[in-house]
């Protein structure tokens, strides 16, 4: 979870409250409106930040591997994000993700990708630390987990290793996506981090990873890898080439690490990573990577057998020239559309971004054929077009939703100078060439699968109202903030747009407007950032802000059996009339 250093600073709980209809339409295609970016935050230097980025990893896969249930592992979170009726396509996609190359196609050799990886290891693997040993013990007990992340990562590893070596960085960093996302390109954490490298919106924007309704560059294999390694390189320079400190700063923010170093120095203590007082997530972050590096350096010593990987690229970049329907791209390339999505996970919808970049990653062996087919393919067939006559009650917003596009695209295509339309007006609308079932890995289908998954409680279809917050909704239905967000493919920090449809598995027998919801209009609930002080406890903080311990734990994903650490950042949702 990303937590800003905002001691006693109150932030409005909804950004769009009070917006006019025209403002909402204007914001439809604006990343900050849909991804909740704070422009001030985005423009600040992440090297100086105090944010803790909780890596998503693959908790579902870890739990299934730990329990010995291989079937659950094969259905872990990628499939959980897809509509039930698309399970077959989802399973095929998972097989593609976990088995990108037929093992018969991979010839065992003395010089494979693993040899190249080991040759560039630079970090100290001999560190004797209980945190590293704990991680080693877990991985050694669960070789199946290593198998699965290696199978996923083999699609992307060659490219990441190439980029790591270009910069002269330690090759251990090529294994960092295992810690961050378990090499799941669609991973999205409750801290709003996305993609292989788990960038939060503000840090992604700082490094040029833009977001729109059409795409999210944080999931782009090439762009996000470049941004992550650039970020790590800058952090290493900041900490005089100490990659343990650079990694800690990647997770917790450079400001957090620098502050801890300063405290130790003033106290006459050692300032190496292992001696610093850091957030719990960060204390385990570096040990995970070192444990993985030790295993990949000598897998036999830990009873693990790595599959041979050829030291050659998996994909090539093909210039498409303009927007292209992904189903059309799959047919032209002679591959399944799931393969297109897995190599190009940044695309949210049925087509590439109309504003570019106009490129697709395709398997190496299909690249030349794709270029040839694309050269002879008529431009007017790259996306499907429909004629639509404006009806009473229509707006660009409703029409865009109906055809899975955006008001801005409709305006551009039809050369509209404003968002005003009239009844009977003819509009040309770009649309998908195939049915929704074809685009099984699009954002809409992943969300539908998430929302329709059966869970405990009474299913409630909830429409977000102006002024709603996750905290309000969660209390009304006696569930946690994090549960509401997870059931809807969101993070607790994502904005709630009025009109958005949520699914809630309520613990209330007959969910109605109860005391919690009836008090919304009179309550003045705001989001507060709080930094833990020496001697603080959950009960003391709860008493100070007139909230309860369970809510604080839910908002911050805390284990109530563990002690708070001085300097730890918390998010609170408080009624400012009852707080100091």
Per-residue buried b or exposed e for 197-227, using 16+ beta carbons within 10 Å of the residue's own CB: bbbbbbbbbbbebbbbbbbbbbbbbbbbbbb
Greatest alpha-carbon pair distance for the chain in Å reads 77
C-alpha pair distances (Å), 259 with each of 50, 241, 254, 455 = 9, 18, 9, 43
Contact between 367 and 343 under an 8 Å Cβ cutoff? The reply is no
Phi, psi of 310 (to 5 degrees): -65, 145
Exposure on the CB side of residue 195, measured as CA atoms within 13 A: 30
Nearest to 150 by CA among 86, 65, 87, 91: 65
Q: How far apart are CA 494 and CA 16, in angstroms?
A: 12
Q: How far apart are CA 385 and CA 430, in angstroms?
A: 5
Q: 456: which 2 tokens?
A: 């405990």
Name 353's Cβ contacts closer than 8 Å, sequence gap at least 6.
212, 214, 215, 323, 347
Query: Which DSSP string do the residues of 13-80 spell out, in sequence order?
Result: S-SSTT--HHHHHHHTT-HHHHH---HHHHHS-GGG--------TTHHHHHHHHTT-HHHHHTSTTGG
Contact between 350 and 455 under an 8 Å Cβ cutoff? The reply is no
Is 180 annotated in the active site?
yes
Q: How far apart are CA 254 and CA 269, in angstroms?
A: 19
Total residues belonging to the chain = 580
Name the active-site residue from 37, 151, 163, 180: 180
Exposure on the CB side of residue 310, measured as CA atoms within 13 A: 14
Q: Express the helix, strand and coil content of the chain in percent, nearest 5 each.
A: 45, 10, 45
C-alpha pair distances (Å), 2 with each of 37, 182, 216, 257, 571 = 12, 19, 18, 15, 10
Its sign, for the CA torsion 252, 254, 257, 260, is negative
Say what the alpha-carbon torsion angle 97, 99, 100, 101 is, to the nearest 10 degrees. Answer: 180
* End-to-end Cα spacing for the chain: 25
Exposure on the CB side of residue 262, measured as CA atoms within 13 A: 6
Name 2's Cβ contacts closer than 8 Å, sequence gap at least 6.
51, 52, 53, 54, 191, 192, 193, 200, 202, 493
Q: How far apart are CA 517 and CA 388, in angstroms?
A: 40
Nearest to 193 by CA among 3, 366, 446, 331: 3
C-alpha pair distances (Å), 521 with each of 19, 21, 239, 465 = 17, 21, 49, 12
Q: How far apart are CA 86 and CA 218, in angstroms?
A: 25
Query: Which DSSP string do the residues of 563-578 spell out, in sequence order?
Result: ---TT-EEEEEEETTS
* Catalytic machinery residues: 180
């Amino acid at each position: 979870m990303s937590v800003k250093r905002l001691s006693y600073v109150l932030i409005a709980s909804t950004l769009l409250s009070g917006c006019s209809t025209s403002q909402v339409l204007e914001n439809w295609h604006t990343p900050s409106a849909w991804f909740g970016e704070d422009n001030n935050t985005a423009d600040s230097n992440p090297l100086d930040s105090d944010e803790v980025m909780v890596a998503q990893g693959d908790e579902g896969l870890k739990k299934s591997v730990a329990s010995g249930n291989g079937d659950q592992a094969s259905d872990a979170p990628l499939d959980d994000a897809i509509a039930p009726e698309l399970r077959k396509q989802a399973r095929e996609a998972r097989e593609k993700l976990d088995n990108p190359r037929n093992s018969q196609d991979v010839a065992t050799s003395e010089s494979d990708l693993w040899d190249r990886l080991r040759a560039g290891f630079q970090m100290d693997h001999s560190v004797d630390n209980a945190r590293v040993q704990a991680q080693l013990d877990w991985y050694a007990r669960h070789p199946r987990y290593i198998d699965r992340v290696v199978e996923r990562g083999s699609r992307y590893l060659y490219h990441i290793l190439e980029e790591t070596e270009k910069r002269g960085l330690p090759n251990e960093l090529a294994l960092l996506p295992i810690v961050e996302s378990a090499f799941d390109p669609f991973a999205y954490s409750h801290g709003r981090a996305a993609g292989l490298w788990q960038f939060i919106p503000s840090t992604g924007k700082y490094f040029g990873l833009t977001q729109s309704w059409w795409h999210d560059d944080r999931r782009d294999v090439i762009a996000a890898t470049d941004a992550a390694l650039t970020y790590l390189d800058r952090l290493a320079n900041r900490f005089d080439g100490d990659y343990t400190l650079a990694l800690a700063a990647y997770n917790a923010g450079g400001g957090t690490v620098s502050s801890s170093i300063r405290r130790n120095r003033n106290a006459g203590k050692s300032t190496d990573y292992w001696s610093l007082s850091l957030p719990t997530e960060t204390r385990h972050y570096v040990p995970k990577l070192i444990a993985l590096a030790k295993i990949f350096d000598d897998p036999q010593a830990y009873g693990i057998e790595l599959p041979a990987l050829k030291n050659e690229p998996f994909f090539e970049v093909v210039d498409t020239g303009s927007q292209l329907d992904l189903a059309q791209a799959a047919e032209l390339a002679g591959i399944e559309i799931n393969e297109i999505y897995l190599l190009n996970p940044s695309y949210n919808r049925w087509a590439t971004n109309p504003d570019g970049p106009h490129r697709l990653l395709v398997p190496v062996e299909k690249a030349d054929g794709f270029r040839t087919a694309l050269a002879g393919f008529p431009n007017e067939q790259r996306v499907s077009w429909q004629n639509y006559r404006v009806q009473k009650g229509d707006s660009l917003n409703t029409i865009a939703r109906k055809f899975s596009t955006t008001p801005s695209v409709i305006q551009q295509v039809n050369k509209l100078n404003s968002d005003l339309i009239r009844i009977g007006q003819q509009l040309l609308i770009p649309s998908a060439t195939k049915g929704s079932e074809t685009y099984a890995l699009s954002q809409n289908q992943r969300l539908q699968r998430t929302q329709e998954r059966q869970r405990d409680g009474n299913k409630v279809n909830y429409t977000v109202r102006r002024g709603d917050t996750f905290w309000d909704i969660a209390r009304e239905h006696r569930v946690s903030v994090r549960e509401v967000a997870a059931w809807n493919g969101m993070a607790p920090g994502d904005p709630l747009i009025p009109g958005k449809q949520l699914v809630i598995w309520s613990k209330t027998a007959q969910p109605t407007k109860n005391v919690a919801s009836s008090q919304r209009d009179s309550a003045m609930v705001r989001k507060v950032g709080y930094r833990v002080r020496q001697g603080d406890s959950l009960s003391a903080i709860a008493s100070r802000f007139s909230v309860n311990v369970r809510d604080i734990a839910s908002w911050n994903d805390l284990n109530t059996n563990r002690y708070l650490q001085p300097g730890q950042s918390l998010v609170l949702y408080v009624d400012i009339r009852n707080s100091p």
